[in-house]
Amino acid sequence: MIDMDKLVDIENSTQSKQVFWDQDIYDLELERIFGRCWLFLAHESQLEKPGDFFTTKMGEDSVIVVRHTDGSLKAFINSCTHRGNSVCTADSGNTKSFVCNYHGWVYSTDGSLVDVPLKEKCYHDEIDMASLSLPSIRVDSYRGFVFGCFDETAPSLVDFLGDWGWYLDTWMVGAGSGVELVGPPMKSILKCNWKVPAENFVGDAYHVGWTHASALEMLGGELGGLAGNRANMPFDELGIQITTRHGHGFGVIDHAAVGIHEKRDGYLKFLQDTLPSVAEKLGQPRAKLYDGHWNCTTFPNCSFLYGTNIFKVWHPRGPHEIEVWSWVIVHKDMDDETKREVVKQAARSFGTAGTLESDDGDNMVNSTRNNQGRHTRANNMDSRMAVGYEGPHPDYPGIVGSSFIGETSYRGFYRFYQEIMSADSWEAIRAKDDQWDDCFPNKDYWAKRLAAKANVGE
Amino acid sequence: MHNLEAKERVSMQLHYDVSQHYFHEATLLQDREFSQWLETCVAKDVHYWMPVVERRYVKDKRLEPSPNDMAIFNDNYDELKQRVGRLGTGAVWMENPPSSVRYLITNVQAFHTDHAEELVVLSNFVIVRNRSQLEHSEHVGCRRDVLRKVGDGFQLVSRKITLDARVTEDKNLYIFF
């Protein structure tokens, strides 16, 4: 029997190493997390015309997402209702229908079964076509980002994102036209538990200076000072970290959006030119985030770096392996040359052969693999950095940590991980909507800090 | 450069010289002599490119990837130099102890072009990477190069690297192809 309270200790901010290794925990994750959360599928820029499709994964389930002839988006399980074979074997494309290679059953772009070979002669016209549609999946999109959900009782996508959507709007709406994703995605295998990169992106700016020392040293510039943690930096003044309901979270380094991009003139100019209208449209607090560099995870497995603009999904393949899919985010209003340069720089730093990407893999593999040892995984992992240096903020929703380096959003991620793994239903999760942040008890942290700062200013 | 047209096949002697150049290049990379590789085997106007190739249906009419698309490698000389520089910082923790990377370069076919000093050369590769205790990965694919005759040797003007695998079965591709 899995005891989630024991595996994830909210009060002491520790997690059992078993969560990166045990098969029974993973099986429960597929049921309770991947089976109940909204999972990223595709971006609408990939699915513009009727018949445009993209094949992806939700947990370990193969899924097709497609633009139906009526203009709506549909998603269904990529498995023939006859004997289970795949009905689509391409990465993407445009089609009028999906035809199973096995016996030739034909499905429309809404998943309905429209033709069966030898229907009259061999089924004697007695096949109930209407009951044999591909199993459909709830699908919805937020600012063009398409998500799917297996659970009919889950909240709407917009409610699932909650305050995280408010933050996402900073650049998903931005100056008005928003963003698109550039693919097709790079894909690679990483032999780690899916939560290792998810937690890394949600809240780990701490590793940047050390893990990425070599790349930062070559890069120089504003982030070069982080290399080897040598620079004496006032970390509490350079950014914040945020966790919101449902485990989403991010950290932001102020004014560092383009920091990882070697060539950045066009990109920087675009951000500078659009900043005033972001401020006007969305207000000063979000304008302050707009030219920052963000490390983020949308719970559970969709991570990205806004600024660097790499966008990733960690598809689980058992407890000890993932597929990493990587796209690049570009603002729709950028000119073509700037878009190309952003794509190039993002792939160069965090693509499959990325100068920074290449630093991370080994840590993630070993953080997983070591737990093969039973005495190793009998221990806990620690995420107590700056406990208490966090709380509600007058300008920013959720719980806000003191600096971009801290583990506030780790704690938020695992708080929700424990909650959803323990909960029998979304109803039980909804019941805690007003108390989810009780585990961050220092409610006056920001009031005191901002007052102290104001006093110094006087 | 990637589309430079291949004309007649080169002579036996020139084919031998090209093959020897490739084996020398592989030896430099195996021995981690990356700076020497860059300085002697790579032209200053190089374009080093590994596109992302989707699995598409045969009837799919969309264009093949171009260097304007997102790519795994899309480097000029300075960008390659930066990759080499990173490996020399002493701060690439995963390369200490270093990986063993072995290059098998085969199926070399070299052709003249309309440019007297430039050849189009096709080759296949198997690159085997061993790390740590049991970590092992293999990368199989092909290269379409443009080589320029420089002095007694050759320099790489463009290299299009195509991997056969859609999903890279390795934690990264921070190796040279």
Residue B1 has pLDDT above 80, yes or no: no
**Percent of chain A surpassing pLDDT 90:** 91
pLDDT of the residue at A241: 97
Select from B48, B80, B131, B171 the residue whose CB has the most chain A CBs within 10 Å, as the one to mutate to test that interface: B171
Question: Which of B79, B89, B173 has its CB closest to that of A217?
Answer: B89
Q: How do the domains of chain B map onto residue ranges? A: 12-52+67-163
The reply to whether residue A362 touches residue B92, judged by beta carbons under 8 angstroms, is no
Task: Tell me what the mean pLDDT of segment B155-168 comes to.
Answer: 98
B55-70 pLDDT tens trace: 999 999 999 999 999 9
CATH 3.40.50.1390 fits B12-52+67-163, yes or no: no
What is the spatial distance between Cα B152 and Cα B14, in angstroms, rounded to a whole number?
A: 11
Q: How do the domains of chain A map onto residue ranges? A: 4-28+165-446, 39-142
Task: Tell me what the mean pLDDT of segment B111-117 comes to.
Answer: 97
Element (H, E) at A280: helix A265-282
**B-chain residues near A343 (CB < 8 A):** 69-70
Q: Residue A407's closest CA among A183, A205, A186, A146? A: A205
**A-chain residues near B166 (CB < 8 A):** 91, 187
Task: Tell me what the mean pLDDT of segment B23-31 comes to.
Answer: 98
The reply to whether residue A186 touches residue B70, judged by beta carbons under 8 angstroms, is yes
Q: Torsion angle of alpha carbons B173, B175, B176, B177, nearest 10°?
A: -50
Could you tell me how far CA B87 lies from the centroid of its own chain? Answer: 17
pLDDT of the residue at A232: 79
pLDDT of the residue at B69: 97
The reply to whether residue B55 touches residue A90, judged by beta carbons under 8 angstroms, is yes
Closest A-chain CA to B54: A91
Q: Could you list the beta-strand ranges (E) of A317-431.
A: 322-331, 380-382, 390-391, 399-401
Question: Which of B62, B90, B166 has its CB closest to that of A187?
Answer: B166
User: Looking at this predicted complex, what is its ipTM?
Assistant: 0.96
What is the spatial distance between Cα A60 and Cα A43, in angstroms, rounded to a whole number?
A: 20
The reply to whether residue A189 touches residue B166, judged by beta carbons under 8 angstroms, is no
A352 CA: distance to closest CA in chain B (Å): 5
A357-412 pLDDT tens trace: 989 999 999 999 999 999 999 999 999 999 999 999 999 999 999 999 999 999 99
pLDDT of the residue at A20: 98
Which residues face B103 on adjacent strands?
B127
Closest A-chain CA to B83: A355
Q: CATH second-level architecture of A4-28+165-446?
A: Alpha-Beta Complex (3.90)
pLDDT of the residue at A458: 60
Axis-axis angle for helices B12-30, B34-41 (nearest 10)? 150
Q: Which residues of chain A have pLDDT under 70?
A: 457-458
pLDDT of the residue at A355: 92
Q: Which residues of A are catalytic?
A: 103, 204, 207, 212, 360
In the structure encoding, which two tokens stand for residue A175, read together? 């100056």
pLDDT of the residue at A74: 98
A280-330 pLDDT tens trace: 999 999 999 999 999 999 999 999 999 999 999 999 999 999 999 999 999
Closest B-chain CA to A353: B173
pLDDT of the residue at A223: 78
The three-class DSSP label of residue B37 is helix
CATH code for the domain defined by A39-142: 2.102.10.10
Residue type, A365: V
What is the spatial distance between Cα A452 and Cα A447, in angstroms, rounded to a whole number?
A: 9
**What is the pTM (predicted TM-score) of this model?**
0.97
pLDDT of the residue at A441: 96
